[in-house]
């Protein structure tokens, strides 16, 4: 029963993060509106898509470990949900004043998901044993 509660609780964080991304993508970008995001240069805004959607994929991966899924299935679901949500948010921006759907932004979303998942799954496992080695053998 406790695992069932953890399972339901574990999806709160990625869903809350998705709501935050929805809020940020729904902010109007008109000449009269002044918010923090309108002051960020557009190239930096594009680069922020990488950690925003890469982080979403990692949150889903952490959340899905509490479900009775294989590691591969969890990874695939995290990637599919994150990329799909990135596409959905780009479409939502069609109806936001001063915003528009952008294939470039969607590609940055996808790149962020794939880079973060690759880093987490392929590089981090090699760094963890190395850090353990340093702790054990460091003077």
Query: Do 54 and 117 meet the contact criterion of CB atoms below 8 Å apart?
Result: yes
- pLDDT one-digit tens code per residue, 52-89: 999 999 999 989 988 888 889 999 999 999 999 999 99
With a cut of 70, say whether residue 2 has pLDDT above it. Answer: no
Judged on CB neighbours under 10 Å (0-12, 13-18, 19+), 32 is exposed
Query: Do 82 and 50 meet the contact criterion of CB atoms below 8 Å apart?
Result: no
- pLDDT one-digit tens code per residue, 81-138: 999 999 999 999 999 988 889 999 999 999 999 999 999 888 877 776 655 544 444 3
For residue 57, give every residue at least 6 positions away whose Cβ sits within 8 Å of its Cβ, in sequence order, or none: 78, 79, 81, 82, 112, 113, 116, 117
Tokens of 17: 């993060």
pLDDT at res. 134: 47
**Which residue is listed with tokens 């002051």?**
39
Q: Whole-model pTM?
A: 0.81
């Amino acid at each position: 029963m406790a695992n069932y509660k953890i399972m339901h609780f574990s999806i709160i964080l990625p869903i809350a993060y998705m709501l935050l991304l929805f809020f940020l993508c729904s902010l109007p970008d008109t000449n009269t509106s002044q918010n923090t995001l309108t002051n960020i240069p557009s190239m930096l805004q594009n680069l922020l898509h990488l950690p925003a959607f890469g982080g979403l994929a990692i949150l889903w991966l952490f959340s899905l470990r509490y479900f009775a899924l294989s590691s591969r299935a969890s990874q695939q679901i995290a990637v599919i949900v994150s990329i799909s949500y990135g596409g959905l948010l780009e479409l939502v921006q069609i109806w936001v004043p001063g915003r528009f759907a952008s294939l470039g932004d969607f590609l940055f979303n996808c790149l962020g998901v794939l880079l973060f998942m690759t880093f987490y799954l392929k590089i981090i496992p090699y760094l963890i044993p190395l850090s353990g080695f340093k702790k054990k053998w460091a003077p």
